Structure 1
Amino acid sequence: MGGLIEDYVFHRDFSKTYPIITHGKGIYLYDKNGKKYMDACSGAVAANLGHGVEEIAEAIAFQAKQAAFVHTMRFETEVLFQLAEKIALLAPDTLNKVYFTSGGSEANESAIKLARQFHKDAGRPEKHIVIGRWQSYHGNTFGSLSAGGDIKRRQTYTPSLINFNHVYSPNCKRCPYQREKEDCDHKQNWSCVRDIESVINEIGPENVSAFIAEPIVGSQLGAVSPPEDYFKEIRKICDYYNIVLIVDEVMTGFGRTGKDFGIQHFGIVPDIITFGKGVSAGYAPLAGMIVHDRIVDSLIENSKGKFVHGYTYSGHPVSVAAGLSVLTIYERDRIVNNVQLAGDYLKQQLFALKYRCPIIYDVRGEGLLLGIELAIDGEKGTPFPENLHASERINSIAMELGAVFYPGSGSINGYLGDHILITPPLNVTTGEIDEMIRVLESSLNIFIEELKEEEAYEITK
């Protein structure tokens, strides 16, 4: 056995040593040394009910004892029908069929392929190109990575990626078109919208299959919402050019933003909603897509009802049972209502922190999908140098102090721009939020003191 191998795990980063978690309870995780971590980011914005919920574990165990696996090419289970119904009833009235996968990457891959088959089978075989957005994330399979706009994740694999097109994500605080939001709103002429139509016409509308977007951009921009009418304009464009509108709700779905789905903030109905993470609250790998009736009807009419696609673990009974238990808790415990109340409180505390901290440039987001953007100058927004790894360093400090957040970078141009997501479990209390803010503030202050000691960067406000 070659090298200095101390274990047999292919780690995500071999330069790091990770704490070994033994158990979790509520908003906290505990490692094998007894250290407690407040999970202020719900893992990867997935552990939406916190840790150690016995009710969900029991539902998983019960289903595993009954039927742990069936292949959906041959069999289905009752829990599949029950969860599909719950999800469809949360979605817009015209999205009534739910397809299950194991993760968000698979969900978006499935949506991209379904859009392609929809056009091909309806006699539009040339429609194959997907338009995505820079500073967006849709997954790590080749199709979802090609549609996404995470420059750092794409770089290594660029020669192998599908030749999809991209436009800028809307970010009014740092508009890539150098315009003021007030001017765009007054003129009802948003460059981020017009750019989409320009790209469609450059490619040729007859070649464009789908447009994919997150309703509120999570990991890549740090909880940035678009202009209020952005999606209404996109819906018009997609309708005019017969383009499938895919809304990626993997991070924003199931109450995270204070509504069942993030797109409900913007008053439009997509053709496909993809989901993941919160559907099972992290208790089992589960994701999927909710599909518009017109696409399903076309599949039945033009493809004899068969979607040319599938995964071994699609509709896995144990994962689906976890999702059914989670959605039952969401409904029973009025989780969305708590998100609205706790989200308002957390946002107030973050704005208060901004006024106390010289390196917070912006506070943004909806519900419990909130973010802060970091800058050397909290007034002007001068970004930290990329090689400083500001957000990662702050999160490392926070972990030493007993909390974990969701750091991100590249929000300005794919390289510059640091932000931190604050996305606690959806049943978080105000007392836990207060503790979270104390750790975050201490972490920011320690980072500032480190910079002063390094004498490399002058912090101003």
Structure 2
Amino acid sequence: MNRKWNDNVGQDHVFHRNFNQSYPHIAKGEGIYLYDTQGKRYLDGSSGAVAVNIGHGVKEVVEAMTEQASQIAYIHTLRFETKVQQELASLIASLAPKELDTVYFTSGGAEANESALKLSRQYHLGNDHQGKFKVISHSISYHGNTMRTLSIGGDQKRKKLYDKELHGGVIQIDPPYDKRNDFQGLHEDEYVSCCLDQIEKQIIKEDPETISCFFIEPIVGSQIAAFVMPDGYLEGIRKLCDRYDMLLIADEVMTGFGRTGKVFAVNHWDITPDIITFAKGVSSAYAPLGGMIVKNHIIQTLKGSWDGKFAHGYTFSGHPVALAAGKANIDYLLDNDLINHVQEKGRYLYSKLTELIGNFSCVGSLRGEGLLLGFELYKDKQSLEPFKPSQQVAETLNQICIENGVLFYPGQGSIDQHPFDHMLVAPPFVITEDEIDLMIDLLEKSLRTFRNHFC
């Protein structure tokens, strides 16, 4: 068959994320920077989709992938396993909270969360709890873009397109976000107690014998930029899960492997979920990789009630080249002490952002941990008057930033019918103080242009 490649030169056959937008072509990545084919440099202030934790162009990861591909690039894990699969699983288990010591691999975060939902159901069936199928999740959250994970998430813009196809059996509760109407006048410990009381009442109303798991982001990523669960909240959820025989599943797709200054975000509260899901930072996006870390009592149920079999699987589960990327990535993370670097540079970045937003009446609510920080945009931060959602001001600000050579992660949310726009600031772990200063200068320049048009 003769190729007709030359006949197609100049034609565009790409299914773009947005057909009405023009995208720069990136030719190279190095450290915290991207370079397009025209030679323009962009400071990657969002680590891609908060994924390229160790930065771009790390040769140790590339070399590990090349070496693995030269040996064996693919096996079917229903029939075979590889040495790198054993090595990476052991490495991840050694970093996980106690009792979480078995690792299942997928190709990304949505697959990881889908796997956790199925495993939770199979676990309860194996313990003869036939009625447990419902999932509790936050009304402002994101757990993936498959139909099931979209169902349990709170990204309303994406969900409304598929409202007729989305799965039932989801109990959504509002997160302990301090701008809720019912929190006005309450101290943090008071509204945490209020939240937990409301959740328990909802559990009882729904019937605990119908609820399989509680799915939660310990620190919310794209839907409430870098919103940290208040102290006492996750501890209270853990107690409720124990009381009513529900699995606690921590979605650490964005936060895992050092992003918040701890290996996992749950380490900030010293709680142990039943399942942790991960992706993004496990391979720093050098290859598609995700998975879940599972507590031993769930594995024992599979062994005892299901002849050891998990009724689930993917063609690319345990892909050797992706696993090699993951192992080399974590080795690099540990060998270079990058998690302590995240803590140090996160404090510096927070102080610089605090100073910056003090100069703008349209920017406030700075929050986060480590190098996962976020802020909100308002017409006026004193009154918290929001912009209209149709203005898409976070996306507009990010486009201004890109023109100025820096990019972040914009988003929109809503609580109690009050919309808000927000921005994640999440650079690669290898960023230096001088590079943080440059990033802040570029953000300030962009905010001045934004203010002239919107504030």
TM-score (norm 1): 0.94
Return the letter of the residue paired with 2:142: Y
Query: CA offsets per residue over residues 171-216 of structure 1, 9 Å max, x none?
Result: 12x125333451x51x585232222212211211100001100000
Partners of 2:418 and 2:72 in 1: CA distance: 47
- 1:18 corresponds to which of 11, 18, 23: 23
- 2:317 maps to 314
Task: Report the CA distance shift for 1:35/1:414 in structure 2 as closer, same or farther (over 3 A).
Answer: farther
Measured against aligned partners, the alpha-carbon deviations of 1:388-417 in whole angstroms (never above 9, x if no partner) come to 111011000000000111001124458721
**Structure 1 residue aligned with 2:173:** 167
How much does 1:231 deviate? 0.6
- SS in structure 2 of the partner of residue 192 of structure 1: helix
Inter-partner Cα distance in structure 2 for 1:62 and 1:114: 33
SS of alignment partner, residue 159 of structure 1: coil
CA distance in 1, matches of 2:157, 2:183: 24
Cα displacement (A) at 1:158? 1.2
For residue 298 of structure 1, what is the amino acid of its counterpart? T
Look up the match of 1:328: 331
**Pair 1:118 & 2:109 matched:** no
2:176–2:191 contact (8 Å) kept in structure 1 = no
Q: Which residue in the other structure is 1:421 paired with?
A: 424
2:385 is equivalent to residue 382 of structure 1: yes
Counterpart AA for 2:397: I
8 Å CA contact 1:411, 1:419 repeated in 2: no
Paired residue for 2:3?
Answer: none
> Is 2:160 the counterpart of 1:155?
yes
Q: Which residue of the partner structure matches residue 260 of structure 1?
A: 263
Aligned to 1:357: 360
1:90 pairs with one of 69, 89, 95: 95
- Aligned equivalents of 1:330, 1:418: Cα separation in 2: 32
The 3-state SS of whatever aligns with 1:372 is strand
Residue 183 of structure 2 is matched in structure 1 by 178
State the shift of 1:93 in Å. 1.4
Are 2:180 and 2:415, in contact at CA under 8 Å, matched by a contact in 1?
A: no
Distance in 2 of aligned mates of 1:413 and 1:401: 35
The alpha-carbon deviation at position 386 of structure 1 amounts to 1.1
Output the amino acid matched with 2:246: I
Q: What residue ranges of structure 2 are gaps of 5+ in the alignment?
A: 1-9
One-letter code aligned to 2:50: V
* Greater CA drift, 349-358 or 315-324: 349-358
Kindly report structure 1 stretches of 4+ aligned residues shifted beyond 4 Å.
Answer: none
What secondary structure sits across from 2:220 in the alignment? coil
> What is residue 4 of structure 2 aligned with on the other side?
none
Greater CA drift, 308-317 or 5-14 = 5-14
Determine the C-alpha separation between the residues in 1 that align with 2:40 and 2:110. 33
Residue pair 2:77, 2:317 contacting (<8 A) in 1 also: yes
Conservation of the 8 A alpha-carbon contact between 1:168 and 1:176: no
The question of 1:245 aligning with 2:248 is answered yes
> Is 2:71 the counterpart of 1:66?
yes
Offset of 1:427 from its aligned partner? 1.4
C-alpha separation between the residues in 1 aligned to 2:58 and 2:192?
48
**AA at the equivalent of 2:173:** V
> Partners in 2 of 1:252 and 1:180 — Cα distance?
31
Structure 2 counterpart SS, 1:417: strand
Q: 1:411 to 1:46 in 2, by over 3 A?
A: farther
Confirm or deny: 8 A CA contact 1:104 1:274 kept in the other structure. Answer: yes
What are the Cα deviations for residues 49-97 of structure 1, in whole angstroms up to 9, with x where unaligned?
Answer: 1111111111111101100000000011001011101111111110000
Give the paired residue count.
445
Aligned residue number for residue 446 of structure 2 = 443
Per the TM alignment, residue 441 of structure 1 is displaced from its structure 2 partner at its CA by 0.8
Question: Structure 2: how far apart are the matches of 1:379 and 1:442?
Answer: 22
Which secondary structure state, in structure 2, belongs to the residue aligned with residue 79 of structure 1?
helix
Cα deviation for residue 381 of structure 1 reads 1.5
Contact residue 151 and residue 414 of structure 1 kept, 8 A: no
Contact 2:54 2:429 (8 Å CA) reproduced: yes
- Single out whichever of 60-69 and 442-451 deviates more from structure 2: 442-451
- 8 Å contact from structure 2 (residues 254, 280) kept in 1: yes
Give distance in 2, aligned partners of 1:395 and 1:181.
34
Is 1:202 paired with 2:205?
Answer: yes
Question: How big is each residue's C-alpha offset from its partner over 1:245-268, in whole Å with a ceiling of 9 and x where there is no partner?
Answer: 000000000000000000111121
In structure 2, the partner of 1:283 is 286
Q: How far apart, in 2, do the equivalents of 1:258 and 1:118 lie?
A: 32
Selected match of 2:14 from 9, 15, 19: 9
SS in 2 for 1:256: coil
The code of the aligned residue for 1:161 comes to: L
Conserved 8 A contact 2:192-2:233: no
CA contact (8 A) 1:152 1:414 kept: no
Q: Percent same amino acid at aligned positions?
A: 48
Are residues 1:344 and 2:347 paired?
Answer: yes
TM-score normalised by structure 2 residue count: 0.96
Conserved 8 A contact 1:409-1:415: no
Unaligned runs of 5+ in 1: 452-458
User: 2:85 touches 2:318 (CA, 8 Å); kept in 1?
Assistant: yes
Deviation string for 1:261-290 (max 9, x for gaps)? 001111211000000000000100000000
